Structures are given as structure tokens and as C-alpha cells.
Amino acid sequence: MVDRTLDDGRFVVINDSREDAAVGTTFLEMIVMASNLIEGEFKSAQIGSATAVELRVDSVESWRQPMDAVPFGHNAAIQLSGAGLNELRAQLARKSKGQYIFLASD
């Protein structure tokens, strides 16, 4: 899940998958989800269609230390490159409370 953009252009992410996201990983889709509390239960739904991207993880930093990957269940600052950077930044700029942006790889 992509949380926000840092002043230096990197992205703060939370790896909620079941595997590490290593440097060199290429994400192929950007998915926007919305979550709402309805009758005491959280309901989530995808907003629109997935957007095709080709975003490569160039670097990972956690606790101000360079790392080879974002370990599953952890957060980090990552540098991305490739097609879809402008779309990702635009989605982050307009996301509202209860919206979440995910990147998916193979």
C-alpha cells in the first residue's frame, strides 16, 4: 500500500503482502480501494479499473538504513522509476479518507 510521497520524491509504503518486495521488483498495476464502515462492518471495494503501470523499485530505506527489500508487514521509503509515476503521484494527491492505493506485481 502506498501511503504518501516524501519531499525527496520517494514513497512511503506498507508491505501488506505475504512476501518481501525486493529492490528490482516491478509493479504492473495500481489499484485504488475504498473502505467504509457500514452497519458496524468495514466494506471495501475497488474504485474504477486497475491502472497499468511499470514501476520498478530502485531503492529501499527503513529506519534510515538501506535495505535489499521491504519485508512483508513493514513500512519503508522506496524510490520508484518507470511508467506510471505521474499517475501514482496524482492518485496520492487526490485520495480521500478511506481510500487506499495498492501496487501489484506478478
User: Domain map of the chain by residue range?
Assistant: 2-104
**C-alpha cell at position 9:** 520524491
| Residue that wins the pLDDT comparison between 88 and 106 | 88
Instruction: Supply the pLDDT for residue 4.
Output: 96
Mean pLDDT for the chain overall: 95
Query: Is residue 38 pLDDT above 90, yes or no?
Result: no
| Residue that wins the pLDDT comparison between 18 and 101 | 101
- pTM for the model stands at 0.90
As a whole number of angstroms, the distance between CA 92 and CA 101 comes to 8
Please state the rounded mean pLDDT for residues 95-101.
94
Under 8 Å between Cβ of 77 and 61? yes
| Four-way CATH pick for 2-104: 3.40.5, 3.40.50, 2.40.30, 3.90.320 | 2.40.30
Please state the rounded mean pLDDT for residues 10-37.
94
3-state class (DSSP) for residue 77: strand
Instruction: Supply the pLDDT for residue 83.
Output: 98
Query: Is residue 13 pLDDT above 90, yes or no?
Result: yes
Given its phi and psi angles, is residue 98 left (phi above 0), alpha (psi -120 to 50 degrees) or beta?
Answer: left
Residue 50: Cβ within 10 Å count? 13
